[in-house]
Amino acid sequence: MIDFRTPVSADDVRNRGRELRERTPWTARDRAAQAPDRPAVLDFVETSNRGRLARLIPLRIGRMTASPFSFFRGSAGLMAADLAAGPVSGLNAQLCGDAHAANFGLYGSSRGDIVMDINDFDETVNGPWEWDLERLAASLVLAGREGDATEEHCLDAAREAVRSYRAAMADLAEQPFLASWTALADESVIGRSRADALLDDFKKAAKKARKNTSAKVARKWTELEGHETDYAKRKFVADPPILTTVDTEVAEAVIDGLTQYVGTLRESRRRLITRFSVSDIAFRIVGTGSVGYRSYLALLCGNGDEALVLQIKQAVPSALTPFLPASPARHEGERIVQGARAVQAETDILLGWTTLRLEGQELPFVVRQFRNLKGGIDPSALEGDHLDDYGRLAGALLARAHARSVDPRLLAGYLEDGEPLDDAVARFAVRYADRTEADHAELVAAVESGRIAAETA
pLDDT category, 226, cuts 50, 70, 90? Answer: low
Taking the CA atoms of 109, 114, 116 and 119 in sequence, report the sign of the dihedral they define.
positive
Candidates 79, 87, 100; CA nearest to 33 is 79
Section 373-389 average pLDDT: 93
C-alpha distances (whole Å) from 168 to each of 114, 161, 193, 401 are 21, 10, 8, 11
Section 204-212 average pLDDT: 92
pLDDT category, 438, cuts 50, 70, 90? Answer: very high
> Which segments of 198-341 are extended strands (E)?
222-224, 234-236, 243-245, 277-284, 295-301, 307-314
pLDDT of residue 199: 83
Q: Check pLDDT > 70 for residue 231.
A: no
pLDDT in tens, 332-370: 999 999 999 999 988 999 999 999 999 999 999 999 999
Q: Check pLDDT > 90 for residue 457.
A: no
In terms of phi and psi (left: phi > 0; alpha: psi -120 to 50; beta: otherwise), the region of 35 is: beta
List all residues 6 or more positions away from 320 whose beta carbon is below 8 Å from its beta carbon. 76, 77, 80, 95, 97, 123, 125, 127, 131
pLDDT category, 371, cuts 50, 70, 90? Answer: confident
**Higher confidence at residue 231 or residue 393?**
393
The lowest-confidence range among 233-237, 260-264, 299-303 is 233-237
CB 67 within 8 A of CB 440: yes
Residue 144 CA to residue 384 CA, distance in Å, equals: 7
pLDDT of residue 398: 96
pLDDT category, 228, cuts 50, 70, 90? Answer: low
CB 126 within 8 A of CB 87: no
Section 416-432 average pLDDT: 97
User: What residue type is 3 in one-letter code?
Assistant: D
- Tell me the whole-structure pTM to 2 decimals: 0.96
Element (H, E) at 168: helix 151-174
Residue 369 CA to residue 363 CA, distance in Å, equals: 20
pLDDT more than 70, % of the chain: 97
Question: What's the whole-number average pLDDT of the chain?
Answer: 94
pLDDT of residue 372: 85
Instruction: Please provide the DSSP assignment of 40-72 as one string.
Output: PHHHHHHHHTTTS-GGGHHHHHHHHTS-HHHHH
pLDDT category, 181, cuts 50, 70, 90? Answer: confident
pLDDT of residue 291: 95
pLDDT of residue 391: 95
The lowest-confidence range among 168-172, 196-200, 236-240, 287-291 is 196-200
pLDDT of residue 184: 66
pLDDT category, 287, cuts 50, 70, 90? Answer: confident
Section 441-453 average pLDDT: 98
φ, ψ (nearest 5 deg) of residue 50: -65, 135
Section 98-116 average pLDDT: 91
pLDDT category, 319, cuts 50, 70, 90? Answer: very high
pLDDT of residue 195: 77
Section 154-169 average pLDDT: 96
pLDDT of residue 216: 95
